[in-house]
Amino acid sequence: YLRMKKHNFYAGPSILPEFTKKMTAEAALNFAETGLSVMEVSHRSKEFVAVMEEAQNLVRELLHVPEGYSVLFLQGGASLQFLMVPYNLMNKKSAYLNTGSWSSKAIKEAKFFGDVVEVASSKDANFNYLPKDYTVPEDADYFHITTNNTIYGTEILKEPDVNVPLAGDMSSDIFSRPIDVAKYDVIYAGAQKNLGPSGATLVIVKDEALQRVDRPIPTMLNYKTHIDKGSMFNTPATLPVFACLQTLQWLKEKGGVEGMEKINIEKAGLLYDELDRNKLFVPTVPNPEDRSRMNVTFVMAPDYTELEKDFLDFATQKGMVGIKGHRSVGGFRASLYNAMPYESVKALVEVMQDFEKNK
Ligand code: PLP
């Protein structure tokens, strides 16, 4: 195992806690002493219903979800939420902040349902900053933000101060820090970064906000359907939901999102400090306040661009996996999700320092 030890910097699906993997592997063989695999039992069995309920309760507990919100585990990924959000929550008009490819995709879907105001976009600089100067129309039903931009490495760490409810795509930073759920009508996240394997999608929705639209909504796309049936209207993604529950338990043990935030600040700080110091590399996001703690994007400094492939090979030899940047940014991306150990970030920093020594 030690010989196989890799440092997993993939952006998603990505690293999960050892605890999650071990417990899920065990339950894949013998789930809750049933003698059956978690893949083989009915989602309506009392053992699995307990998994679903506990997962929903832990989401409430860890994120301090106020009364009046429902917690759902759906399928279809965050991409299906791009359209379920406007279908269910936008009567005539909504506002979106465009901070990258995921926001752009969410905007495209919302346009099927009404008037979509793009209040600002950072496309002019390949999404390397967060627009701060914008006005959200007061008659918008919600203001949609992508809290963490997985591809471009920016993160909205504090809820913007606007006078309409927020809708948040938190696929790549949910559970990495405390959030003020009361400011949101809806929060959604594909599981495959900070929560579990792909196949489950977490949705937290304010019940009251669902009274806004009067358009007919097909059954499977209607949040009410899933709320009324406790995320069991149809067969949920049983194994992924089981794995999510393990991660939530691990998170609680680690001090919840408050504890996690402290560690995440340290991990990201370690890498950004090195990027600011090391002559070979530059972070792609110039403003430190806009930089993501989850996805650290960087490129070779202008004098060293020809070394890009050499560094990738060098780092790969040293066990770094998944650091190649997304094609729309180039360079490198190190994803430092909750489960990423501090030691792995340190190992990457040491590789960067070793590589610098001979240049
Ligand atoms: N939104 C963000 C911020 C993402 O990072 C991703 C996937 O990487 C998505 C949406 C799309 O999620 P899914 O693949 O679950 O549809």
- In this structure, what DSSP letter does residue 32 have? T
Q: Is residue 280 classed as helix, strand or coil in its secondary structure?
A: coil
> Which residue has the CA at smallest separation from atom 8 of ligand 1?
12
Residue 191: name the closest of 268, 116, 248 by CA. Answer: 248
CA–centroid distance, 219 to ligand 1, in Å, is: 23
- Amino acid type, 153: G
Residue % of the chain over a pLDDT of 90: 98
pLDDT band for position 358 (50/70/90)?
Answer: confident
Residue ranges of the binding site for pyridoxal 5'-phosphate: 78-79, 102, 150, 169, 192, 234-235
Domains and CATH numbers, the chain: 18-253 (3.40.640.10), 256-357 (3.90.1150.10)
Task: Please choose from 82, 102, 176, 198 the residue to mutate so as to test ligand 1's pocket, defined by most ligand atoms within 8 A of CB.
Answer: 102
- In this structure, what DSSP letter does residue 92 have? S
247-298: per-residue pLDDT in tens? 999 999 999 999 999 999 999 999 999 999 999 999 999 999 999 999 999 9
37-71: per-residue pLDDT in tens? 999 999 999 999 999 999 999 999 999 999 999 99
Contacts of 218 (CB under 8 A, 6+ apart): none
pLDDT value of position 111: 98
Which helix (DSSP H) or strand (DSSP E) does residue 107 occupy?
Answer: helix 101-110
> Which residue has the CA at smallest separation from atom 5 of ligand 1?
150
pLDDT value of position 359: 87
Mean pLDDT on 112-138: 98
Examine residue 218 and say whether the peptide bond preceding it is cis (omega within 30 degrees of 0). no
Cβ(82) – ligand 1 distance below 6 Å: no
Closest ligand 1 atom to the C-alpha of 146? 3
267-277: per-residue pLDDT in tens? 999 999 999 99
b or e along 234-267 (b: 16 or more beta carbons within 10 Å of the residue's beta carbon)?
eebbbbbbbbbbbbbbbbeebebbeebbebbeeb
User: Going by DSSP bridges, is the β-strand pair 281-283/295-300 parallel, antiparallel, or unpaired?
Assistant: antiparallel
For the annotated catalytic residues, the residue numbers are 102, 169, 193
Residues in the chain: 359
> Which residue has the CA at smallest separation from atom 6 of ligand 1?
171
CB–CB of 174/189 below 8 Å? Answer: yes
Closest ligand 1 atom to the C-alpha of 148? 3
Strand order in the sheet with 93-98: 69-74, 201-206, 184-190, 166-169, 143-146, 93-98, 115-121
CB–CB of 275/353 below 8 Å? Answer: no
8-19: per-residue pLDDT in tens? 999 999 999 999
pLDDT value of position 353: 98
Closest ligand 1 atom to the C-alpha of 102? 1
pLDDT value of position 267: 98
pLDDT value of position 3: 58
Question: What is the C-alpha separation between 77 and 234, in angstroms, rounded?
Answer: 16
Cα first-last separation, the chain: 33
**Residue matched to tokens 């006078």:** 163
Q: Is the pLDDT of residue 231 over 50?
A: yes
Examine residue 197 and say whether the peptide bond preceding it is cis (omega within 30 degrees of 0). no
pLDDT value of position 169: 99
CA–centroid distance, 171 to ligand 1, in Å, is: 6
Closest ligand 1 atom to the C-alpha of 79? 16
Q: Which two tokens stand for residue 99?
A: 């901070």
CA–centroid distance, 26 to ligand 1, in Å, is: 28
pLDDT value of position 5: 77
Torsion angles phi and psi, residue 114, rounded to 5:
155, -155
pLDDT value of position 1: 46
- Give, to the nearest 10 degrees, the angle between helix 238-253 and helix 46-63: 40
- Amino acid type, 5: K
Cβ(190) – ligand 1 distance below 6 Å: yes
Q: Which two tokens stand for residue 7?
A: 């440092």
Cβ(12) – ligand 1 distance below 6 Å: yes
- Give, to the nearest 10 degrees, the angle between helix 256-277 and helix 238-253: 80
Question: What is the C-alpha separation between 293 and 82, in angstroms, rounded?
Answer: 24
Q: Is the pLDDT of residue 4 over 90?
A: no
Would you say the ipTM is above 0.90? yes
Mean pLDDT on 338-359: 96
